[in-house]
Every structure is written in structure tokens, then in C-alpha cells.
A and B are shown apart, each in its own frame.
Chain A
């Protein structure tokens, strides 16, 4: 007993009880976190949603100057086959003028095809095509003007229209997502 007392006195700063408190507390915290995670994670998109997260689009029926809107992850995606004039107009823009500078080349994989999420970066309305001061898109909610590359030019929206991930499976088909 006496030797034990001596040891306790020498280590008076860190006691066995401190160790027990710390380990119990740590295990409780880790356990509570592990238990809480499933309750948080269950609200994330589930497997049935993820299974539908990519969409294939057939481009062959779209003529130059036409665009289609498809539904991808519950949001509209604009696929536009641009005319030569629209491409030239988009490429000619001085970057310095833009609120969110981006070249047209970085926004397309093939200049003819413009693929972008049709959700205004201001507050989520869907912009109207072939409208606005820049011959591109115009959002009716708060008056944002986008050009023929989908870049914001005028109005309250802070960003260019978003470009989703997509790949050309062949010349006439793209897969979004």
C-alpha cells in the first residue's frame, strides 16, 4: 500500500481518474458522432436518386440555331447548336468587360455545341432563350442578360450559367453527369 501511495504522490498531476475521464469522454464523443452520422446522412440524395444522376442526349435532330431543354437531376439543361455568327460573337468578347471572366473556349468542348444548366445564377429562375441585349438568354425574374456563351453580361446575377460535366459518347450523343 505504501509504495502505491508514493507512486500516486509522485504522479499527483495526472491521476488514474483523469485518464478514465478522458478515455470515457473521448469514447462517448466518438460514439455519439458515429451514431449521429446515419441520422444526418439519411437526408442526402439516396441510391435511387444517384442512379438517375446522368442523362444521355441525342443531338442529331437539332439544327443550327436551335436549342432543346432537357431535364437533368431535376434541373433544365440547355443544349444549343450555335450558328457561325453566335460563335464568332461569343469568341470576340473582351474578357475585361465581363463580371465573371471566362473565354468561350473554356465553356465548350466543340464550339458548335453549348451545353449549360439553365438556372439563373441569381436566384434560380429559368432564363428565356433568344432574348436580352446580348442575343443570348434573359432572365425574366430580375433582368439578368446572358450572351451567346451563357456568360452574365448585365443584371444582378453574379456568375455565368453553369457548365455541367458532360462527354461526347460519339458525334451525335452526349452524356451529362
Chain B
């Protein structure tokens, strides 16, 4: 493009010839041609980057005060809350930030599913995304263990015991994970180390995610290929401004949780110090794990439950090949769109059931919801591609907008 970055000063030219970093950032964050019809569902990429950086910075600061020791961890978290200057704020940002991160990532994934952003040629972006999600799950779980409260301890016990379902080697694997014969300080220190490491692995994957995205460019609400130049606008200022506006709204909600109800998304039992001799009456994971927790409990078999739960995430990686339709956007898929919303409701229902006791009607509903979750991907997605007659696709991304304006002009004349 003609307005590519051209170094002006002698120093800038000298640097750019040896390390074209400004050219790189300018090309990918300023000039990058972006479809001009992206809606606000496309702002979650920027929001998620903000979430990751917020978690890394607040986490770094918390690690300056936290002590990863079974006898001292709980007290050190209270020390952060009571003694450290603004420690309460930093911890609440970090804890709430985890929830906000998952809200954003679920919406980001729902966007990709609706508009078919996982389809050719963007399969690898999606698969990298699934791995990022998997790392987020692991990081969030390990972070929740660090305060060493009752929920931390028993959450760690339940989740690490999942590995005991492995035939023959189960006990050896759990003992290896624990570094002990039960959950103890040895697990706490290794979880702290890994919790510190994983965000940087996520950061690396995010770079690959964006790199892979910038090869074909963004998908768009119409789901059709765009013509560069005619259908695109430079990322800056158009989408920088749009992303920032969405980010500010997101930050207002974030701040609302941090300042007015920082504990609403957590569990009060985690303010009781870990006690290896007493399990809390009702164990629930953090809200963002509830759908997967419901799937785990729906299967009346130890190994089966674990396999189902892991599969629930793993199956996402295969979606690009499970979906047989050539049409990307659900806007033009009248039949699949219905099932898309059923899947979304199913996932929310699973989340609700995960928080309920696994008995009676809840268990039956949990099994039905789990069944649909898997059927959606294994059966519905491949079949509908053959059955469905998609609506005619527009010739360009401008067409739906222009025809809408024309219609408006006509109705205006009539009125």
C-alpha cells in the first residue's frame, strides 16, 4: 500500500534497515486492511489482549507479596488484603480479572462459532485458540489453588484425583503430581511455579494466533471473502477506535465488579484456611468451569466422566472438519442457526446444573444436556451441511448494507 510506513529521519532509517520493528508494527497494527463491516462482536480480541496483560501485571505485583508455602500462603493473602498498600485492589483486579477473561473468551468463541470463523482458511487460528483456552483453564485452576483456602484445597484434591482414573498408573500419576501421598505444600509450590509460567506461554500462543489471523485477514459478519482495498479499511484509526470504545465499556463493567461486589464471583468458603481433615459441604468450581464440571458429573463412571470432560474441550479442535457446510456465517444458514442457539442455551444450562447438587432431576437434566453438547458437534454439524439450503450469499460485503439503505430511502419516500 502507498501509505506504508516509510522511515523519515536518518536514525529511523538506520534502525529500520537493521531491525524493521516499526515497519512490522505499523503494518500489522496500523495499515492492516480490515473488512469494513466488522461489528462489536469483533472487539473481543482486543479485550482479551487487555485481560491477559492485566492478569500478567497484577499477578507479577501479587507475587511480590505472596508466599507459596502451605503454612504461610493463606496468611500472606490476608496480608495482601489488609497490609499491602492497595493490596486489596490488586488482588480483586486479579481475581475478578480471571472471571472477566473467561466472559470475554466465551463471547469470542461464540462469535467464531456463529460467523464460521473456524472454517477454511482460518482452521489453524481456531485450533491455536482452543489451545489458548486449554492453557487458560489450567492457569485459572492453579491460580485458584494458591490462596490455600478450603475451596482451593478441595478443588485441587478433586481435580488432581481425576488423574487417578487412569487405568493401572492412576495412583503413581497422582502421587507424582502431588509430590506426596495427598495434596500438600509440595503441590502448592509447583502450582505457583506453573501458574507464573503459563500466562507467558499463552502470550506466545496469542502472537501465533494473531500471526495466523493476519495471513488470510479477518472473517466478517457476512462470512464471504473480501476484496482488499474496496472492502477494507486500515485497522488504525477505524478499528482502534472501535476496539477502544468496546474496551472502555468492558472496563466499566470490570470496575463495577472490582469496586462493588468483588466476591460475588468467588466462593465464601475460600476465606476459610485449608483443612485436610474436613471437606466443605458443597464443592463447586469457579463459575467458568461449571459447564465442564456438569459434564464430568453426568457420566456415572469415574474414567468415563474424565474422558467426557476432556473430550468436551478437545472436540472443539475438530470443528473445522465436523462442520460440512461451505457457508461460513449463520446469517445465511437458517437451519443451523437454530441449532447454534440451542447449543448456546445448552451450554448455559450445563453451567447452571454444574452449580446444583448432582441428584434427582438435576442429574437427569445434566445427562440430557451433556448428550446434546456432544451430539451437536458429532451429528448436527456434519449432517446439516448436507440438509440445509443456505440463503443466497451477497456478492460483496457492501450489498446488504446498501440494499438496507435503499429500502430505508424507499420507506422514507412513502411516509
Instruction: Give chain A's interface residues, CB within 8 Å of chain B.
Output: 37-39, 41-44, 46-49
Q: Is the CB of A42 within 8 A of B82?
A: no
Task: For the complex, give the distance between the alpha carbons of A43 and B79 in Å.
Answer: 14
Q: Is the CB of A42 within 8 A of B57?
A: no
Total number of residue pairs linking A and B with CB closer than 8 Å: 33
Q: Which residues of chain B have C-beta atoms less than 8 A from A39's C-beta?
A: 57, 61, 86, 90
B399 CB, min distance to chain A CBs, angstroms: 32
Residue among B61, B64, B86 with most chain A CB within 10 A: B86
Task: For the complex, give the distance between the alpha carbons of A44 and B64 in Å.
Answer: 12
Instruction: Give chain B's interface residues, CB within 8 Å of chain A.
Output: 57, 61, 64-65, 79, 82-87, 89-90
Q: Is the CB of B57 within 8 A of A46?
A: no
| Chain A residue, CB-CB nearest to B86 | A38
Task: For the complex, give the distance between the alpha carbons of A38 and B86 in Å.
Answer: 6
Q: Is the CB of A48 within 8 A of B85?
A: no
Q: Is the CB of A41 within 8 A of B64?
A: no
Q: Is the CB of B90 within 8 A of A42?
A: yes
Q: Which residues of chain A have C-beta atoms less than 8 A from B82's C-beta?
A: 47
| Chain A residue, CB-CB nearest to B57 | A39
Q: Is the CB of A42 within 8 A of B87?
A: yes
B319 CB, min distance to chain A CBs, angstroms: 38
Task: For the complex, give the distance between the alpha carbons of A48 and B78 in Å.
Answer: 12
Q: Which residues of chain B have C-beta atoms less than 8 A from A43's C-beta?
A: 64
Q: Is the CB of A48 within 8 A of B90?
A: no
Q: Is the CB of A46 within 8 A of B61?
A: no
| Chain B residue, CB-CB nearest to A45 | B85
Given A39-B57, A39-B61: A46 and B90 within 8 A (CB)? no
Task: For the complex, give the distance between the alpha carbons of A42 and B85 in Å.
Answer: 5
Q: Which residues of chain B have C-beta atoms less than 8 A from A49's C-beta?
A: 83
| Chain B residue, CB-CB nearest to A51 | B83
Task: For the complex, give the distance between the alpha carbons of A41 and B83 in Å.
Answer: 12
Q: Would you mind naming 26 contact pairs between A and B with Cβ atoms under 8 Å apart?
A: A37-B86, A38-B85, A38-B89, A38-B90, A39-B57, A39-B61, A39-B90, A41-B85, A42-B64, A42-B65, A42-B84, A42-B85, A42-B86, A42-B90, A43-B64, A44-B85, A46-B79, A46-B83, A46-B84, A46-B87, A47-B82, A47-B83, A47-B84, A47-B85, A48-B79, A49-B83
A153 CB, min distance to chain B CBs, angstroms: 41
| Chain B residue, CB-CB nearest to A43 | B64
Task: For the complex, give the distance between the alpha carbons of A61 and B31 in Å.
Answer: 78
| Chain B residue, CB-CB nearest to A37 | B86
Q: Which residues of chain A have C-beta atoms less than 8 A from B85's C-beta?
A: 38, 41-42, 44, 46-47
Q: Is the CB of B57 within 8 A of A48?
A: no
Q: Which residues of chain B have C-beta atoms less than 8 A from A44's C-beta?
A: 85
Pick the 9 closest A-B CB pairs, nearest first. Answer: A38-B86, A47-B83, A48-B83, A41-B85, A46-B83, A46-B84, A42-B85, A38-B89, A42-B86
